[in-house]
Amino acid sequence: MVEIERTAFGRNDKTSFGIIDSKSVKNADTAEQKGYDAGKKVSGIKIHITVDILGLPHAIHVTCANVTDRTGALEMISLNLDNLSAVENFLVDGGYSEKNFAGSVKDIHGATVEVIKKSDLPEFTVIPKRWIVERTFAWLEKNRRLWKNCERKLHTSLQMTVLALLAFILRRF
């Protein structure tokens, strides 16, 4: 479905540029697997996503919230090598700035990593190209079922996220 949407915009079916980010989501008491994201003070799950320049998802991975952004992103890349096969460069925020992360991405995938930090900018401005992944998370927020994770299994949470993004893409046609 993503390939069809990309070609409708005159782009190749596979992206050469990926933007990675994650979002922590609070859990309901029904969830079996949960972790605590100390940075965001959230007990629940974490959704890791890679989008293209249009904001379309190319890789999604759901983990417990205690999994770091870097570890979750590496797992996501490893699990979605086919979807990310044409990616030459990943854009990430300061949470992924560890040198081992860029080296691990190079080893796993062969792509380079570009880190954009908020502290590099003189005052509040929209971070170039980073807003695209934030917009995709805003699209997910429009799905009431994803406001809070009520699913028992991580795999079900992943499928609900995929379903929400698929519904959004279908509405765009």
pLDDT tens-place string over residues 99-144: 799 999 999 999 999 988 766 556 666 666 888 898 888 888 888 7
- Higher-confidence residue: 168 or 73? 73
pLDDT of residue 31: 73
Instruction: Rank 19-33, 63-77, 157-171 by mean pLDDT and report only the highest.
Output: 63-77
Q: Distance (Å, rounded) from C-alpha 74 to C-alpha 117?
A: 19
pLDDT of residue 12: 84
Ordered DSSP codes for 7-37: HHTT--SS-SEEEEEEEEEEBPTT-SS-EEE
What's the average model confidence in pLDDT over 27-41?
80
Its pTM stands at 0.87
pLDDT of residue 42: 86
What's the average model confidence in pLDDT over 55-84?
93
Question: Which CATH number does the domain housing residue 11 bear?
Answer: 3.30.420.10
Please check whether residue 6 is in contact with residue 86, taking contact to mean a CB–CB distance below 8 angstroms. no
Number of domains in the chain: 1
Q: Distance (Å, rounded) from C-alpha 154 to C-alpha 10?
A: 35
**C-alpha to C-alpha distances, 26 to 4, 37, 39, 89, 157, nearest whole angstrom:** 33, 10, 13, 31, 12
Angle between helices 99-108 and 69-79 (to 10 degrees): 10
State which residues form the domain around 146. 2-172
3-state SS, residue 47: strand
Please check whether residue 115 is in contact with residue 96, taking contact to mean a CB–CB distance below 8 angstroms. yes
Instruction: Rank 54-63, 123-132, 141-150 by mean pLDDT and report only the highest.
Output: 54-63
What's the average model confidence in pLDDT over 147-155?
80
- Higher-confidence residue: 148 or 80? 80
pLDDT at 97 over 90: no
List CB contacts of 49: < 8 A, sequence separation 6 or more: 20, 21, 22, 23, 57, 59, 60, 61, 76, 133, 136, 137
- Which neighbouring-strand residues pair with 27? 149
